[in-house]
Amino acid sequence: MFFKDKGTAVIAPMSGHVVTIGDVDEPIFAGKVVGDGVAIIPSSGEVVAPIAGTISFIGEQKHTYGIAGFDGVEVLIHLGINTVKLNGQGYDCKVEVGQRVEVGTLLCNMDLDFIRQQQFDLTSPVVITSGSMDKIKRLTLRTGQALAGQTVCMRYTTV
């Protein structure tokens, strides 16, 4: 699906195949409990900031990253499904909480081969958090192939 170039862009944080959040094999994400958006089946382990803002959250196991945009909308990146069980193995974090980032700033390197060998699903949700959804008037998604830091995977307009 393609859409008009209206609204704030959320750029793909990883290269790979973008699917809708409903296609994720994890009910918490597919059911939009955490938020609404897309997921990326990565072809590369480089993870970059999808929006400009401030790092608001880094999971203790380095597999989740929250970025608060300057408009108050927060985007969450969850690297893989159930990967909290890896206890940080396979993730090399490059940022810290409170750090300002621009679109394309390197957040993390993810060892796709290691994570795959541990038999975890690499599908990585990229969502506007449920706490930010009340600020969203319209959300449009783009699926298909994406390049990290270049391809728009979502656009939103705020209330």
Residues 76-122 pLDDT 10s? 999 999 999 999 999 999 999 999 999 999 999 999 999 999 999 99
pLDDT band per the 50, 70, 90 thresholds, residue 2: very low
Query: Is 30 buried (19+), middle (13-18) or exposed (0-12) by CB count in 10 A?
Result: middle
Say what the pTM is: 0.94
CA–CA separation, 137 and 28 (whole Å)? 23
In the predicted structure, residue 3 carries a pLDDT above the cut 80: no
- The per-residue pLDDT for 96 is 98
- The per-residue pLDDT for 1 is 43
Residues 12-64 pLDDT 10s? 999 999 999 999 999 999 999 999 999 999 999 999 999 999 999 999 999 99
63 given a catalytic annotation: no
| Percent of the chain predicted with pLDDT > 70 | 97
Supply the DSSP string of 24-36, one letter for each residue: SSSHHHHTTSSEE
What integer is the mean pLDDT of 68-78? 97
User: How far from 30 is each of 25, 52, 114, CA to CA, in Å?
Assistant: 7, 26, 25
Whether 145 and 17 have beta carbons less than 8 Å apart is answered as yes
- The per-residue pLDDT for 6 is 79
- The per-residue pLDDT for 89 is 97
CA–CA separation, 70 and 52 (whole Å)? 7
CA–CA separation, 2 and 140 (whole Å)? 9
CA–CA separation, 67 and 57 (whole Å)? 7
Which tokens in the block code for residue 150? 């270049």
- The per-residue pLDDT for 41 is 98
Active-site option among 13, 15, 48, 78: 78
CA–CA separation, 133 and 138 (whole Å)? 10
